[in-house]
Amino acid sequence: MENFSKLLKFLRNPHRKKIEQLKVRYQELDDLSNVAVEIEDATAYKSLQKEMREVFFDYLTAVVVDSVYKLVPHVLIIWVISLKWQSITVPIVNWQVNILAAYLLSYLIINVSQLLSNPIKSGLSKIGFPGFSRSSVVNKI
């Protein structure tokens, strides 16, 4: 079961570790570059800037590959759905909507609702709205 969990985490975000390592390395190089400026060592500064550019482009490459990796399942879902239905009809107004537009709109609505749900729930719990009250249990460390 633990191996399945690790596999699922990897499939969800396979480039996370590499991106984090590149971020840390870039930050280290930036700090070293600032030290080189403070001690006025021009050759060390130039060398660090060159390495920073290389790390930055590796970071950008990893981010782009990760973005494409996250986009592929959505393209496959749209393709499979479009094999069955080319367009859908909105019931109230009888509009024909392309399946791509419908999928993108539903994806956008789901993500925006997830972003807004936590602030709304916390706001309702602060004013004491029934069903959204705060827990009386306090977690002690």
What confidence tens digit (pLDDT) does each residue in 93-140 have? 888 888 888 888 888 999 898 888 877 777 777 776 666 555 555 555
**Predicted local confidence at residue 68, as pLDDT:** 85
**pLDDT category of residue 7 using cuts at 50, 70 and 90:** low
SS3 assignment, position 76: helix
* Domains of the chain, residue spans: 1-73, 85-121
What confidence tens digit (pLDDT) does each residue in 26-85 have? 999 999 898 888 888 888 889 989 999 999 999 999 988 888 888 888 888 888 888 888
Query: Does the predicted model carry a pTM greater than 0.75?
Result: no
| Residues constituting the chain | 141
- Parallel, antiparallel, or unpaired: how do β-strands 87-90 and 95-98 relate? antiparallel
